[in-house]
Structure 1
Amino acid sequence: MDDLVVVGAGPYGLSIAAHAAAAGLRVRVLGRPMASWRDHMPAGMYLKSEPWSSNLSAPGGRYTLAEYCATRGIAAEHGNPLPIGTFSAYGLWFAGQAGPEVEERTVTAVTPYGAGFRIGTEDGPPLFGRAVVIAVGVLPFAHRPAVLRGLPPGHCSHSSDHRDLGRFAGQDVAVLGAGQAAMETAALLAEQGARPVLIARRHRLNWNTVPQPLERPLLRALRNPHSGLGTGWRSWVWSELPWAVRRLPGPTRERIAETALGPAGAWWLRERFERQVPVLLGHGLRRAAPVGGRTRLDLTTAAGEPLVLEVGHVIAATGFTADLGRLDLLDAGLRTALRTVGTAGRTPELTPWFESSYPGLFFAGLLTAPSFGPSMRFVHGAGFAAGKLVAGVRRRLGARVPLPGSARRRAVDDQDDLSTVQR
């Protein structure tokens, strides 16, 4: 039986595995490395966060994005956005350097089993772990407006469904949303020969400003400090003090997670977007229906007047909603028994070490934002999460986890082998 099984191999899963291995835990990582970045983001997209705030986490601050880029002659500079492909390749490099080998197995079930867990996969025998961390990223939580859910296949998709937007060349495409994903998807569609229109309920689009230099006069730096989530004291608190956010009342934390760092486009995208993409702001979507091979959208304008739009396809760039109910791989009885946070009750209540109310079951990533704040929605939060979570696993398993190769570790391994045979 392994000490820890990490379900998911994105930035959080890989960072947790690196810290766990360094702490002497016997850890296994299951999933496709960097899957959402490699398979679910269109070619041509760029990393919105600064390179220095986009590091995966290993003990000692090793294996940074800047280190990876330096070995390949790539400039990882403040104010210079990096392609998503570069970040994906960095994640794969990190996985090969910092932790145990990732097993590309799809987890289908996590079920309580004795004093630990049984982890079922699509192929191969089940695994058994004393502790499990669910670090599945955002893909299970893709949000589609209810009005679109009745459309037949082929009429509507989520922005995370596409690696290649070239398939829409020559088509009219409605993009719903007002954040970076919506605006960059629309710009890429236009650049690849489609005719996009962006539709948003908001009456204006927000744009991030050009980042201030890292080296600034002391007074300017104190008034508007840099952080992993942007500049300003509010962003600094969300970025650097997630432990303090967790001490706030549950409803307050939930509100912060939902409203802080709202939708906005990157400064470097604005000219590309505004030059190519028409927008319908202040428009609500009342109904969507198939009309032959096209889709009819019944909208309401900002003035309350009806507007009908027919398009070849609809892309919902409407983000992700953290919801335990969508976590099908987690045993249903266990899932419904977990204590939850806030009034909505969609996310697990967690200890300061990211452990749920069920002993040995840990969470990382989007589902933890209502507990630790908005930094858990970004790569930057992986460092805090990995360190605290692995400390929590060690607390759960016993303060002194035997190191690899030690007599006590061999005794534990022998006992596990015996237990496996007896099953």
Structure 2
Amino acid sequence: MYEYDLIVVGAGPYGRSIAAHATAAGLRLRHLDRRIHRAADGRTVTAVRPYGRDGFEVVTEDGESLRTRTVVLALGPRFTELPAGAGEFRRVAAHRDRFCAAHPALFRRLPTVVRLLLTDHGNTGTDRVTLLSMPVRRRLSRTPDAPPWVDTRFESAHPGLFFAGLLTAAFFGPAIRSAHGAEFTARRVLRGVHRRLGRRQR
């Protein structure tokens, strides 16, 4: 019924790291990229929607339909250029990001208001995830401009759908805006995928 255990959408540092961990774990994997990178399949993903009892259908730009048990949307960060003369801000932000990269699990335990103040996340709401059907997007967050909720394994409120990268910065810290958090994220995501598949992680 399902061709794949996991489909990873996105070929940035998060997508590549998660795909590498999934390959090492022996999962049936498909790695696609909805942007311009060519490290993965290279085709644009036009839709991700529920399929069957507990899986997903991922549709590519040429109409191919792929069925999978789990999906990771590894959306890359959008970097904002700082104005000239902002060296001190860059230095403080770098220290902050290094701390959060070393302690992302601790960052998640901070009160919500503190996490939002520390995270310059820009537009990270579910309105960015346009390839998801609207019923799924509504389930992910109460408001379109809020980031989708994820648990400690980066799994969303929709079982089997995981997020990585910028959309999770509000939960795991500003380091998730860069490559700093890729290894931490990949390890956590794979634990969640194995749990969803009913397997023990190797």
Bin for the TM-score computed over the shorter chain: 0.7 to 0.9
Question: TM-score, normalized by length of structure 1?
Answer: 0.43
Q: Deviations over 1:251-309 (max 9, x none)?
A: 221221128xxxxxxxxxxxxxxxxxxxxxxxxxxxxxxxxxxxxxxxxxxxxxxxxxx
Shift of the 124–321 alpha-carbon distance from structure 1 to 2, 3 Å rule, reads same
Are 1:366 and 2:158 counterparts?
Answer: no
- SS in structure 1 opposite 2:157? coil
The residue that corresponds to 1:112 in the other structure is: 50
Are 1:17 and 2:14 counterparts?
Answer: no
Shift of the 255–208 alpha-carbon distance from structure 1 to 2, 3 Å rule, reads closer
Are 1:103 and 2:41 counterparts?
Answer: yes
Are 1:237 and 2:99 counterparts?
Answer: yes
CA distance in 2, matches of 1:8, 1:353: 18
The residue that corresponds to 2:136 in the other structure is: 334
Shift of the 209–352 alpha-carbon distance from structure 1 to 2, 3 Å rule, reads closer
The residue that corresponds to 1:191 in the other structure is: none
Question: TM-score, normalized by length of structure 2?
Answer: 0.86
Q: Is the 8 A contact 1:32 1:103 kept in 2?
A: no
Shift of the 126–230 alpha-carbon distance from structure 1 to 2, 3 Å rule, reads same
The residue that corresponds to 1:384 in the other structure is: 184
The residue that corresponds to 1:324 in the other structure is: 126
The residue that corresponds to 1:268 in the other structure is: none
CA distance in 1, matches of 2:165, 2:41: 20
Are 1:134 and 2:136 counterparts?
Answer: no
Shift of the 331–344 alpha-carbon distance from structure 1 to 2, 3 Å rule, reads closer
CA distance in 1, matches of 2:165, 2:65: 24
CA distance in 1, matches of 2:125, 2:32: 21
Q: Is the 8 A contact 1:4 1:27 kept in 2?
A: yes
Q: How far off its partner does 1:124 sit?
A: 4.1
- SS in structure 2 opposite 1:230? helix
CA distance in 2, matches of 1:325, 1:5: 21
Shift of the 235–29 alpha-carbon distance from structure 1 to 2, 3 Å rule, reads closer
Runs of 4+ in 1 over 6 A off after TM superposition: none
The residue that corresponds to 1:83 in the other structure is: none
The residue that corresponds to 1:27 in the other structure is: 29
Aligned length: 198
CA distance in 2, matches of 1:336, 1:3: 25
Q: What residue ranges of structure 2 are gaps of 5+ in the alignment?
A: none
- SS in structure 2 opposite 1:347? coil
Q: Is the 8 A contact 2:74 2:165 kept in 1?
A: yes
Q: Percent identity?
A: 45
Q: Is the 8 A contact 1:11 1:34 kept in 2?
A: no
Letter in 2 for 1:113: Y
Q: How far off its partner does 1:137 sit?
A: 1.4
CA distance in 1, matches of 2:90, 2:64: 51
Provide the aligned C-alpha RMSD in A: 2.8
The residue that corresponds to 1:395 in the other structure is: 195
The residue that corresponds to 1:408 in the other structure is: none
CA distance in 1, matches of 2:8, 2:162: 9
CA distance in 1, matches of 2:89, 2:48: 44
CA distance in 2, matches of 1:25, 1:244: 30
CA distance in 1, matches of 2:144, 2:63: 37
Q: How far off its partner does 1:133 sit?
A: 0.5
Q: What residue ranges of structure 1 are gaps of 5+ in the alignment?
A: 36-91, 96-101, 143-176, 184-204, 212-228, 260-319, 404-423
